[in-house]
Structure 1
Amino acid sequence: MGRDVYVAGVGMIPFAKPGSSEHYHVMGAQAIRIALQDAHLDYDKVQQVYAGYVYGDSCAGQRAVYEVGMTGVPVINVNNNCSTGSTALFLARQAVASGAVDCALAVGFEQMQAGALGSVFLDRPTPFDRFQEEADALLQVEGVPLALRYFGGAGLAHMQQYGTQLSTFAKIRAKASRHAANNPLALFKKVVTEQEVMDAPVMWPGVMTRLMACPPTCGGAAAIVCSEEFAMRHGLDRSVRIKAQSMTTDYPSTFEKHDMRQVVGVDMTREGARQVYEAAGVGPQDIQVVELHDCFAHNELLTYEGLGLCPEGGAEKFVIDGDNTYGGRFVTNPSGGLLSKGHPLGATGLAQCTELVQQLRGTAERRQVDGARLALQHNLGLGGACVVTLYERV
Structure 2
Amino acid sequence: MTQKVFVVGVGMTKFEKPGRRKNEDGSDWDYPDMAREAGTKALADAGISYEKVQQAYVGYVYGESTSGQRAVYELGMTGIPVINVNNNCSTGSTALFLAAQAIRGGLADCTLALGFEKMQPGSLGSTYDDRAQPMDKHILALAEISEVLFPPAPWMFGAAGREHMAKYGSTPEHFAKIGEKNHRHSVNNPYAQFQDEYTLAEILESRMIYDPLTKLQCSPTSDGSGAAILDSERFVEQHDLAGQAVEIVGQTMVTDFANTFDGTCAGIIGDHMNRAAAREVYEQSGLGPDDFQVIELHDCFSANELLLYEALGLAEEGQAHTLLDAGDTTYGGRWVVNPSGGLISKGHPLGATGLAQCSELTWQLRGDADKRQVDGVIAAVQHNIGLGGAAVMTAYQRADR
Q: What TM-score do the two structures reach when normalised by structure 1?
A: 0.98
Question: Unaligned regions of 5+ residues in structure 2, if any?
Answer: 22-28
Matches within 5 A, 1:118-133: 118-133=125-140
In the alignment, the residues of structure 1 paired with residue 356 and residue 208 of structure 2 have an alpha-carbon distance, to the nearest angstrom, of 29
The answer on 1:351 being equivalent to 2:356 is: yes
- Which of 250, 253, 256 is 2:259 aligned to? 253
Aligned position for 1:94: 101
Specify the code of the residue in structure 2 equivalent to 1:244: G
Aligned position for 2:174: 168
- Which of 313, 321, 338 is 1:316 aligned to? 321
- Which of 64, 79, 83 is 1:76 aligned to? 83
SS of the residue corresponding to residue 364 of structure 2 reads helix
The CA deviation string for residues 22-49 of structure 1, in whole angstroms up to 9 with x for no partner, is 1111101110000000000000000000
Specify the code of the residue in structure 2 equivalent to 1:11: G
- Which of 387, 391, 395 is 1:390 aligned to? 395
In the alignment, the residues of structure 1 paired with residue 41 and residue 163 of structure 2 have an alpha-carbon distance, to the nearest angstrom, of 42
Specify the code of the residue in structure 2 equivalent to 1:218: D
Matches within 5 A, 1:44-59: 44-59=51-66
The CA deviation string for residues 203-243 of structure 1, in whole angstroms up to 9 with x for no partner, is 12x42211111000110000000011111112224531000
SS of the residue corresponding to residue 180 of structure 2 reads helix
- Which of 366, 387, 401 is 1:361 aligned to? 366
Specify the code of the residue in structure 2 equivalent to 1:3: Q
Per the TM alignment, residue 386 of structure 1 is displaced from its structure 2 partner at its CA by 0.4
In the alignment, the residues of structure 2 paired with residue 219 and residue 239 of structure 1 have an alpha-carbon distance, to the nearest angstrom, of 25
Aligned position for 1:159: 165
Per the TM alignment, residue 260 of structure 1 is displaced from its structure 2 partner at its CA by 0.8
The answer on 1:224 being equivalent to 2:229 is: yes
The CA deviation string for residues 63-120 of structure 1, in whole angstroms up to 9 with x for no partner, is 0111110000000000000000000000000000110000000000000001111110
The answer on 1:242 being equivalent to 2:248 is: yes
SS of the residue corresponding to residue 249 of structure 2 reads strand
The answer on 1:265 being equivalent to 2:273 is: no
Per the TM alignment, residue 141 of structure 1 is displaced from its structure 2 partner at its CA by 4.0
In the alignment, the residues of structure 2 paired with residue 128 and residue 186 of structure 1 have an alpha-carbon distance, to the nearest angstrom, of 29
Kept in 1: contact 2:213–2:301 (CA 8 A): no
The answer on 1:375 being equivalent to 2:380 is: yes
Kept in 1: contact 2:175–2:212 (CA 8 A): no
* Residue range with higher mean Cα deviation, 90-99 or 226-235: 226-235
The CA deviation string for residues 166-185 of structure 1, in whole angstroms up to 9 with x for no partner, is 01111100000111001011
Aligned position for 2:30: 23
Root-mean-square deviation (CA), in Å?
1.0
Kept in 1: contact 2:110–2:235 (CA 8 A): yes
SS of the residue corresponding to residue 250 of structure 2 reads strand
- Which of 139, 149, 152 is 2:155 aligned to? 149
In the alignment, the residues of structure 1 paired with residue 36 and residue 308 of structure 2 have an alpha-carbon distance, to the nearest angstrom, of 32
Aligned length: 391
Runs of 4+ in 1 over 6 A off after TM superposition: none
Aligned position for 2:200: 194
* Residue range with higher mean Cα deviation, 44-53 or 230-239: 230-239
Q: What TM-score do the two structures reach when normalised by structure 2?
A: 0.96
Aligned position for 2:24: none
In the alignment, the residues of structure 1 paired with residue 319 and residue 136 of structure 2 have an alpha-carbon distance, to the nearest angstrom, of 32
- Which of 274, 282, 295 is 1:277 aligned to? 282
In the alignment, the residues of structure 1 paired with residue 372 and residue 74 of structure 2 have an alpha-carbon distance, to the nearest angstrom, of 32
